[in-house]
Amino acid sequence: MPAPATLPPSGLSGLNPGWSRLIDVAESGTSGDVTHGWHLLDNGPELDALGVIPVGTILCVHGNPTWSYLWRSLLAAASEAAASGAPAWRVIAVDQLNMGFSERTTDFRPLARRVQDLDDLTDALDLAGPVIALGHDWGGVVSLGWAVEHPELLAGVMLLNTAVHQPAGDKIPAPLRLALGRGILGPATVATPAFLATTLALAHPPLSSEIKRGFRAPYLTSARRSGIGGFVADIPVALAHESRPELDRIAESVRTLAVPTLLLWGPRDPIFSDRYLDDLVDRMPHARVHRFEGAGHLLAEDVDYAAAALLWLGDAVVKSPLDASESESESESESASVAPSEAAWDAAGTHPLWHYLDELQDSDETALVDMQPTPRTVSWRLLSLRVRQLAAGLVHIGVKPGDRVSLLVPPSADLTAVLYACVRIGAIVVVADAGLGLAGLTRAVRGARPDFVIGAAPGLLAARALGWPGRKISVAGFVPPMARLLGVEHTLAELISLGQARLSAGDALPAQPAPTDAAAVLFTSGSTGPAKGVVYTHGQLSAVSRALFLQYGVGVGTGLVAGFAPFALLGPALGARSVTPDMDVTAPKTLTASAVAAAVDAIDATVVFLSPAALVNVVATAQALTPADHAALAGVQRFLSAGAPISESLLAQAAALMPQATAHTPYGMTEGLLMADITLEGIRAAAAGVAESNTVPAVANDGESVPAPPATATPAATPTANPAGGVCVGGSTATTRIRISALDASGASVGELTEEADVTGEIVVSAPHVKDRYDRLWLTERASRRGAVAGERWHRTGDVGHLDGAGRLWVEGRMPHVIVTANGVVTPVGPEQRIETLPDVFRAAFVGVGPLGTQQQVAVLETVPPARRVHRAPEKLAAAVRSMVGTPVAAVLVVPGLPTDIRHNSKIDRSRLSRWATGVLSGGRWTKP
Amino acid sequence: MRVLVTGASGFLGRAVAARISAAGHEVRTFQRRPSGVPGVEDVHGSITMPADTPYAGLAYAVSGRDAVVHLAAKVSLAGDPAAFEAVNVGGTRTVLQAAQDAGVSRFVYISSPSVAHAGSSIMGSEALPAAPEQARGDYARTKARAELLALAADAPGFSVVAVRPHLVWGPGDTQLIDRIVDRARHGRLPLLGRGAALIDTTYVDNAASAIHAALDAASSVHGQSYVITNGEPRPIAELLAGICGAANVAAPAWRVPASAARAAGSLIEAIWRTRPGTDEPPMTRFLAEQLSTAHWFDQRRTRADLAWTPEVSLDEGFARLAAHYRQTP
């Protein structure tokens, strides 16, 4: 039933009635007497009233079954930004015909007609460039269809969960199959509001009833919903569908788009899953991508996409001078942004990761030893051969350069061989730690979208059970039924024989990847939010090896006990022989002192790398060491605890087991391994320096330390040289520069990068071995580079600290854990260290409660002996804590255990404690943190 | 400056009159009883009588004054609603009118944080506008209405500022401290909930100096409300322990669930209404909420605008309280 375009009813939440306008548009291809009425939202009049000239227009096209209401926050944000003096963007959001409050025509409008409709509209609007095409869902297809036809106007493309391609052989997404069944099509989408309701239910968190009312407003009767059914019927599922040629035309034309492109994606989308994102990235490899972990199909409702969009437009299209350098940083101009120091290293002779595998391919010296199930020795000759065989085998089954291969294999000779085979042929290895837990691992693997998964049985079972993407390759052989059950296509043994056949036939391995090609995606621990994928290039991974060589002398002939995964894998790249000790890598606490001694003995190791969690058990099981074990350990020259900070006493106890060894602990993160390093002696020297000083603790304000003890403070002997305190992690490693971005009074790290001593701020690092970028996290990546120096690769660590006069770095906590009081900024580690000097305190966490800017300081303690239940600290203990801290402490609480991250069991979750303390101290329920 | 302080026979009023007088101002006081403050001129009378009542005293008290600090109020947890209305609302209207008639240029109204907050916990909140319709109990409701009256009277040449000290205490306080100590001494002071709710309080000297600062700053901060506290919230149990420790009595050892106390408070309050007397009910819903939920405030605007910081810390306050109890057990 035809119906003219109308204005929306008043009072819809978030919708400014002043944005709405109606326009009659002549339909092209007719004799000119057919016109259709459109409803659209337009902030143009608002901008006129402000007296600003727009820098361009964002043309927004909604999908099905939504309407221009979807874009209300972008209109509001754009007008607000314009009012505040930022570049003004005009936003025009249309209601497609038969949708929203636009006209209900009598006819069915297939895709090609809809693209033409939009073209007719922009003609009628006399739309001038530059135009940014923005679309969601099937509106993305229409938007792209318009975009490829208007290169003269087009300045950029933004897309939210959409797709331009439905592979012929692929199954249709389940929710759509439901709607497509003939019998269901009418009832589900038109006769009842069920399809609309289903779509609105996809929001995370759920939409408020007010917003739902806004989305439903144009679709209250079945006659009003006719367009929804039409749209669903137009989804070109089958090759023969009438809209299929138009869809294919658009999908192919998209490859020619060279304008800046931003893809914002909600992965929790049952319709447009990550594979469609992959397809879009394949067509538009220059696109910036941000996947909002936890968000879904209604991304526009789930996250602040408007802020992201305007931020990106400022960078990519307006190109404010501040951000010009950042937009160069990613892949397309990789070679241009290599830091000077990296270039210097290149000149000194950089090695690709497989350099020694080639150089030592005829050597019968030991390359690797596997300690489990029984010790197995692998020579360089064998390792080199296996790597070449596997590389050729992988090529044979279709692994191409740039393909992603997820490795779910425990540290072992198998893992090493597969890893080097993958990187040799230019495949990108995806490495996620089992310590993430199954849920975290699933998110990580899904997010990385591997083309292949190579796994041992547990990894493959998880992959099968949780529907992880990618073709499956098994480390071990399975009986055929099991292999089918797990969806395993190949085993490593098959790959080796396939590869050998190719090599024997004279097929050469493919060309070596370039230093600027991506080599690996490593996942962060997830102790600070959802695990993030971190991309390293070949050049950067080689630089990590180089840093290990420079810092610890690991090189050709060195024997290395590799108990810490990221470094362990680099043994062959350094020409070192390495051994994986007998341990369950998913439970580092299972490593015993005897197992370490056996590993050392197996390869005459002089260097030992361990994780802090493993170290605790090694020290605890030291009494089982035999005289022979002790003799073996006495040969160790360097010993390293990497992954998280550990106490001086634990490091000292471990060092005592290796009396000839220098004990080191590095500072770094997944995004920048090995940024600084300190020895046990260095830790002791720093502690001695602290003890000598006797300054009064004070709060840092505007990055300066202000000696302003409050009236209540008793100027106790304070155990720190710098008022802010912190853990000394040593000086920067040879190729690293560390600078500080000072905190302002609100706790934001806004200071210019500085190397000045005693300035508290965010720790910012630069090195040839710092990450290339975050994977599909454009916003995160942008934030991590904020304020970077043009032409250098800097990474904001999210850690807070300061440099001292000797250039040593002191870590004071994490950025989100900074306490912002009315008197300035307080960092947690210093007070925690001072509290932990009390004999009754085992471990302390120092957190803020209340609004930023007027937060109160709260100490949460684990006591000696441990408390059985949560309680307020007794008067004496509370007084002792207050006198140690110096600044006003509102409350002192005692708990049986502080919450820590799963992976390291050492990083205290202060954010969670802060929320808990806020509840308890507001008079709320008395729970455990 | 020539200043009139109303309600100067009360605990805070006395401290305010003494503070302003000590700063060199000429202070007159107005209340029913002698203020006991040396060096000030006491005028006796009641603010519930119309200002122009012959010999009522208010017209005289306010004559020739540059400023008025209005503290006189009915402060109580229970009582006749009409009496709250007459003293807190009617009395404030009368004093405002008298001050305007006398050509006073500064008017500091002493209010309470309870005028803007009802029931739920307050963690670092700013001073919100007074909201009589949401206020809990007759005291808070009438104080809220009076604050709105006072701020509405703000005009060029008549600078009105509202100051809201939170839980004023100190040596000689019969309203709060003596009652706590008395109940603790008799083993009748329970701890509500776990006693962990963070409560900020105001040592009396700090309240007085803040009011003095508001008087000085009135011409630049007029029309606004400021919450005043020590800015040192502590768990309520620690505060009670500090007070009891100063008085050398045992701190509360037994607990009452906060929800039970609130319910009991409502019931007792209702019974007390039907049985009017001069004594206070042992527990009211208002008091139960005050003592079992967090009450602390953002002090940044207060301190910046009034150019004021507390002089006496919480711990120093407890020390002074202890000294007081040693002298007058």
Give residue B75's pLDDT band: very low, low, confident or very high (50, 70, 90). confident
What residues of B are labeled active site? 139
Of the candidate CATH numbers 1.10.287.3510, 3.40.50.1980, 2.30.38.10, 3.40.640.10, the domain formed by A672-770+779-816 belongs to 2.30.38.10
Over chain B, what is the mean pLDDT?
86
Query: Quick check: A875 contacting B, CB < 8 Å?
Result: yes
Query: Quick check: B163 contacting A, CB < 8 Å?
Result: no
Q: How many domains does chain B have?
A: 1
| Beta strands per DSSP E along A651-747 | 662-669, 672-679, 700-701, 704-705, 727-732, 737-743
pLDDT tens-digit map of A647-674: 788 889 999 999 999 999 999 988 998 9
- DSSP assignment of A88-152 equals PEEEEEEPPTTSTTS-B-SS---HHHHHHHHHHHHHHHT--S-EEEEEETHHHHHHHHHHHH-TT
Instruction: Give the per-residue pLDDT at A184.
Output: 47
pLDDT at A348 over 60: no
Query: Quick check: B81 contacting A, CB < 8 Å?
Result: no
pLDDT at A29 over 70: yes
Give the rounded percent of residues in chain A with a pLDDT score beyond 70.
87
From the CA of B201, how many Å to the nearest CA of chain A?
12
Instruction: Give the per-residue pLDDT at A715.
Output: 36
Record: contact A922-B300, CB cut-off 8 A: no
Q: Are strands A154-160 and A131-136 parallel, antiparallel or unpaired?
A: parallel
Give residue B55's pLDDT band: very low, low, confident or very high (50, 70, 90). low
Q: What ipTM describes this predicted complex?
A: 0.89
From the CA of B69, how many Å to the nearest CA of chain A?
29
Query: Quick check: A924 contacting B, CB < 8 Å?
Result: yes
pLDDT tens-digit map of B212-224: 999 999 999 999 9
In whole angstroms, how far apart are CA A149 and each of A249, A473, B139? 11, 44, 72
Q: Which chain A residues in 700-759 lie under 8 Å from chain B, judged by CB atoms?
A: 710-712
Record: contact B123-A850, CB cut-off 8 A: yes
Instruction: Give the per-residue pLDDT at B128.
Output: 87
Record: contact B300-A712, CB cut-off 8 A: no
pLDDT tens-digit map of A801-829: 999 999 999 999 999 999 999 988 999 99
Poorest-confidence range of A571-575, A619-623, B279-283?
A: B279-283
Instruction: Give the per-residue pLDDT at A228.
Output: 78
Residue B7 is assigned to a structural domain of this protein: yes
In chain A, residues with a C-beta closer than 8 Å to the C-beta of B292 are 923
Give residue B171's pLDDT band: very low, low, confident or very high (50, 70, 90). very high
Question: What residue has token string 């580690």?
Answer: A829
Record: contact B292-A923, CB cut-off 8 A: yes
User: Stretch B187-191: mean pLDDT, rounded?
Assistant: 75
Query: Quick check: B123 contacting A, CB < 8 Å?
Result: yes
pLDDT tens-digit map of A160-185: 999 888 765 566 554 455 455 434 45
Residue B44 is assigned to a structural domain of this protein: yes
User: Stretch B177-184: mean pLDDT, rounded?
Assistant: 81
Higher pLDDT, A690 or A252: A252
Instruction: Give the per-residue pLDDT at A189.
Output: 66
Give the rounded percent of residues in chain A with a pLDDT score beyond 90.
57
**Nearest chain A residue to B297, by CA:** A854
From the CA of A710, how many Å to the nearest CA of chain B?
9
Instruction: Give the per-residue pLDDT at A218.
Output: 92
Higher pLDDT, A924 or A393: A393
**Nearest chain B residue to A921, by CA:** B197
Record: contact A712-B316, CB cut-off 8 A: yes
Q: At A628, list the tokens.
A: 């022979």
Poorest-confidence range of A201-210, A349-358, B36-45?
A: A349-358
Taking Cα atoms as reference points, which of B229, B251, B244 lies closest to residue B122?
B229
Poorest-confidence range of A33-47, A54-68, A403-417, A699-713?
A: A699-713
CA separation for the pair B119, B135 (Å, rounded): 9
Query: Quick check: B299 contacting A, CB < 8 Å?
Result: yes
pLDDT tens-digit map of B232-271: 999 988 998 898 899 888 877 667 776 766 666 666 666 6
Give residue A699's pLDDT band: very low, low, confident or very high (50, 70, 90). very low
In chain A, residues with a C-beta closer than 8 Å to the C-beta of B194 are 872, 920, 926
Assess if CATH 3.40.50.1820 describes domain A17-323: yes
Residue B125 is assigned to a structural domain of this protein: yes
pLDDT at B291 over 90: no
Query: Quick check: B252 contacting A, CB < 8 Å?
Result: no
From the CA of A211, how many Å to the nearest CA of chain B?
28
From the CA of B259, how many Å to the nearest CA of chain A?
11
Poorest-confidence range of A136-140, A236-240, A593-597, A676-680?
A: A236-240
The answer to whether the A17-323 and A828-921 domains have the same CATH topology is: no
Dihedral angle of Cα A428, A429, A432, A438, to the nearest 10 degrees: 90
User: Stretch A541-556: mean pLDDT, rounded?
Assistant: 90
Record: contact A890-B233, CB cut-off 8 A: yes
Which range in A684-698, A779-793, A858-872 is most confidently predicted, on average pLDDT?
A858-872
Residue B12 is assigned to a structural domain of this protein: yes
Give residue A766's pLDDT band: very low, low, confident or very high (50, 70, 90). very high
Hey, what CATH class is A355-669 in? alpha beta
Q: State the residue range of the domain holding B218.
A: 2-166+201-229+297-311
Residue B193 is assigned to a structural domain of this protein: no
Instruction: Give the per-residue pLDDT at A227.
Output: 76
CA separation for the pair A389, A878 (Å, rounded): 66
Higher pLDDT, B87 or A240: B87
Q: Is the peptide bond before A627 cis (omega within 30 degrees of 0)?
A: no
Query: Quick check: B13 contacting A, CB < 8 Å?
Result: no
Of A712, A875, A922, nearest to B123 by CB-CB distance is A922
Give residue A239's pLDDT band: very low, low, confident or very high (50, 70, 90). low
Of B194, B195, B300, nearest to A853 by CB-CB distance is B300
User: Stretch A824-848: mean pLDDT, rounded?
Assistant: 93
Instruction: Give the per-residue pLDDT at A788.
Output: 74
CA separation for the pair A826, A800 (Å, rounded): 11
CA separation for the pair A902, A435 (Å, rounded): 7
User: Stretch B33-56: mean pLDDT, rounded?
Assistant: 80
From the CA of B156, how many Å to the nearest CA of chain A?
33
Instruction: Give the per-residue pLDDT at A350.
Output: 66
Query: Quick check: B21 contacting A, CB < 8 Å?
Result: no
Give residue A696's pLDDT band: very low, low, confident or very high (50, 70, 90). very low
- DSSP assignment of A864-906 equals SSPPSS-EEPPHHHHHHHHHHH-S-EEEEEE-S---B-TTTS-
pLDDT at A477 over 90: no
Residue B224 identity (one-letter amino acid)? Q
Poorest-confidence range of A367-371, A429-433, A878-882?
A: A429-433
In chain B, residues with a C-beta closer than 8 Å to the C-beta of A889 are none
In chain A, residues with a C-beta closer than 8 Å to the C-beta of B195 are 872
Give residue A339's pLDDT band: very low, low, confident or very high (50, 70, 90). very low
In chain B, residues with a C-beta closer than 8 Å to the C-beta of A855 are 124
A828-921 is classed in which CATH architecture? Answer: 2-Layer Sandwich (3.30)
**CATH at B41:** 3.40.50.720
Query: Quick check: B322 contacting A, CB < 8 Å?
Result: no
CA separation for the pair A743, A764 (Å, rounded): 12
pLDDT tens-digit map of A394-412: 999 999 999 999 998 888 8
User: Stretch A772-793: mean pLDDT, rounded?
Assistant: 86
Query: Quick check: B290 contacting A, CB < 8 Å?
Result: no
pLDDT tens-digit map of A715-758: 333 334 566 788 899 999 988 999 999 999 889 999 999 999 99
Break chain A into its structural domains and give their ranges. 17-323, 355-669, 672-770+779-816, 828-921
CA separation for the pair A676, B209 (Å, rounded): 52
pLDDT at B12 over 90: yes
Is A292 within 8 Å of A264 (Cβ atoms)? Answer: yes
Over chain A, what is the mean pLDDT?
85
In chain A, residues with a C-beta closer than 8 Å to the C-beta of B303 are 822
3-state DSSP of A183-214 = HHHHHHHHHCCHHHHHHHCCCCCCCCHHHHHH
Taking Cα atoms as reference points, which of B309, B78, B63 lies closest to residue A823?
B309
User: Stretch A819-845: mean pLDDT, rounded?
Assistant: 92
Q: What is the pTM of this model?
A: 0.84
